[in-house]
Amino acid sequence: MKKMMTYSEGIREGMSAAMRKDPDVVLFGEDVGMFGGCFGVSAGMFDEFGPERVRDTPISESAIIGCAVGAASTGLRPIAEIMMMDFLTVAMDQMCNNAAKLRFMTGGALHFPMVIRTAGGAGVNAAAQHSQSLEAWVTHVPGLKMVFPSNAQDAYGLMLSAVADDNPVVYEEHKAMLAMESEVDLDEGPIPLGVGKVVRPGSDVTIVAVGNMVHQALAAAETLEKDGIDCEIIDPRTLYPFDFDMVANSIDKTHKAIVVSEEVKRGGYMGEISAQISENLFDSLDAPVVRIGALNTPVPFSPALEPIYLPNAEDIVKAVRSQG
Amino acid sequence: MADNKDMVKDLYLTMRRIREFETNAMNLFAEGKIPGFVHLYLGEEAVASGVCSNLREDDYITSTHRGHGHIIAKGGDLKFMMAELFGKATGYCKGKGGSMHIADGTRGIIGANGIVGAGQSISTGVGLQILLHKTDQVCVCFFGDGSTNQATFHESLNLAAVWNLPIVFVCENNGYGISNPQSRHQKIKDVADRAVAYGIPGVVCDGNDVFAVRETSAEAIKRAREGKGPTLVECKTYRQRGHFEGDPAIYKPKEEQEAWLKKDPLDKMSKWMTDEGGFSAAEVKAIDDQVKAEVAEAVKFAEDSPYPTPESGVEDVYSDIVEEVRDR
């Protein structure tokens, strides 16, 4: 049955469905309990599942991830929330040195079915310690998977798959998209990790975009359509494992590629995708791959500055036109 | 104190096993047969042996970079351990972890760990799992004095206290954080004093006296099993070697080293056994001989084992992604 749902509700429905199905799934993090999470994403879950399974932690990011590692290695399937993606830095050791590596380092003796949920992204005037997009820092680490839904249906389906996965999955939710409504069919179930989605089919240029940038790409495509340029937009949905085949098939058709993310452009994850396209599909390309990202500055606070920092539809339009 | 002769024998057997394993590891490292870093547990045997003598097979431990003793005391297989030190395919981690990363999920050994203090926060998750599954298992978290200055120590003890988790935090105060004596890395003398900050009991015992360790930790483990929450147990001991093999430990005063060697836990125990414990010298020697044979067998197993194949290098990163790891 289809209904309209916010992105936030999609995440919550995903978590709740997973928790109803498996008593070993638990949610913990700062203020996720009675308060319902800083952004209200887990609102009502404390009432449904109780204080044992929906647990408030002290403000201790490192312990939150370490706790998830220990819990996952001994039989739970924790969903650990790090309130802001920026705060992942406080727990980076636990995420990168323990969650990500211990399966390999123990030769598979231990495994870590756990989800790290975290709110990334800018656009709400939260300044540089509450707005970052750190996809590159996460995807750089072997042993982690990462998903980043751009709508409520994907938020729901990717959560189901993330919880069911036997590996640590970082689940990024964009804080500026939480109230964004879209149509959801809860009967559709899990969306496999590593499977992208053609959000808009087209024939002239391939635009790979994640998170909130999917919506900027859609707006750009509308503008470009008036010029007679037909954009194909791909939302990989999972950053690792990445659906490169979908991108390659699209570029075989369009021969042009633009990659867009909200990270600062320098060293961003989309640089990796751009490199993969150039390395593997050079002969199909009619123009160099173009990366679009944020300015290489900390995220500014002022409403006058933040929009200048962020990449937008206009940037995408310009980039497509520049490819000729 | 000693309840009975079998118990004494078991305690001594474990301590001797650790001593023999570590002495062999020391020599094999010096011979160039063991690569990488090796942090030996020599001098601290009474701690792991005493604490783990109170544990069941289904209880858990988290360990440290200096973890061989904990793993042996929790029932780890000497052959698989030694093979891992050699980097062989038959090792506990298939040669992917080495000395600092041995784990055995079937025996509740949730890993040694190369990050100082990492086990503290991992233990909170193990504790949470026990709490939610409503069993009477416990988790013992071993760590050194140096790690008590890490943020994980504070975060984890606080979390364990506020959630009333079934964890026993065992600080092996061996006097040094790498090259820094305790007096230069923290102002306090007793790490156990820090328990006050978390509203949990903190106790100190002689870490070179296996009976004292056994008795003190038994009380803490009982509390945890009964759902009364975590305890911080500090065992005062001494790291007889450098931080790692190859470290000449020039920072250790000679007199201090000599004084502690006189309090060697194995010497103390074997002397007690023959003087007061009702063991003959021959009985003690029989245990020593048994252990020598076990460790010799482990070394042979390690030496005879194959190295991992190149193909195995991309396995175990993920449960379900193998070849793709090579490239994208």
ipTM score here? 0.94
Q: Which element (helix H / strand E) includes A116?
A: strand A115-120
Classified as helix, coil or strand, B236 is strand
Assess A91–B contact: CB distance below 8 Å, yes or no. Answer: no
CA distance B23 to B21: 6
Please report the pLDDT score of residue A242 as a whole number. 96
Please report which residue ranges of chain A form alpha helices under DSSP H.
7-21, 45-53, 61-73, 92, 102-105, 135-139, 152-164, 213-226, 244-254, 269-281, 306-309, 313-322
Say if residues B187 and B145 touch (Cβ distance below 8 Å).
Answer: no
Asked whether the predicted pLDDT for residue B328 surpasses 90, the reply is no
A78 touches chain B (CB under 8 A): yes
Among chain B residues, CA nearest to A94: B118
Residues of chain A within CATH 3.40.50.920 domain(s) are 197-322
CATH code for position B270 = 3.40.50.970
Distances (CA, A) of B256 to B238, B253, B263: 10, 5, 11
Q: Per residue in A119-142, pLDDT tens?
A: 999 999 999 999 999 999 999 999
Find the angle CA(B120)-CA(B125)-CA(B126) to the nearest 5 degrees. Answer: 90
Residues A70, B155: C-beta atoms closer than 8 Å: no
Asked if A185 and A2 count as a contact pair (C-beta separation under 8 A), the reply is yes
Number of structural domains found in chain B: 1
The CATH code that applies to domain A2-188 is: 3.40.50.970
> Mean pLDDT over all residues of chain A?
97
Q: Which domain holds residue B133?
A: 5-326
B327 has a pLDDT exceeding 70: no
Residue B290 confidence (pLDDT): 98
Pick the CATH number of A197-322 from 3.40.50.920, 3.40.720.10, 3.40.50.300, 3.40.50.2300: 3.40.50.920
Nearest CA in chain A to B81: A106
CA-based nearest residue to B124, from A23, A60, A16 = A60
- CA B300 to each of CA B87, B251, B290: distance values in angstroms, whole numbers, following the listed order: 14, 36, 15
Give Cβ neighbours of residue A45 (< 8 Å, ≥ 6 apart). Answer: A12, A15, A16, A19, A27, A32, A36, A54
Q: Indicate if A130 belongs to the active site.
A: yes
Q: Which residues of chain A have pLDDT under 50?
A: none
Whether B183 contacts B191, CB under 8 Å: no
Look at residues A67, A47, A71 and name the one whose alpha carbon lies nearest to residue A58. A67
Look at residue A1 in the predicted model and tell me its pLDDT: 84
* B131–chain A nearest CA distance, Å: 9
Is A44's Cβ below 8 Å from some Cβ in B?
A: no
Q: Which residues contact A322 (CB under 8 A, 6 or more apart)?
A: A290
Q: CA B83, B84, B90 angle in degrees (round to 5)? A: 60
Phi, psi of A82 (to 5 degrees): -105, 110
Residues from chain B contacting residue A75 (CB–CB below 8 Å): 129, 133
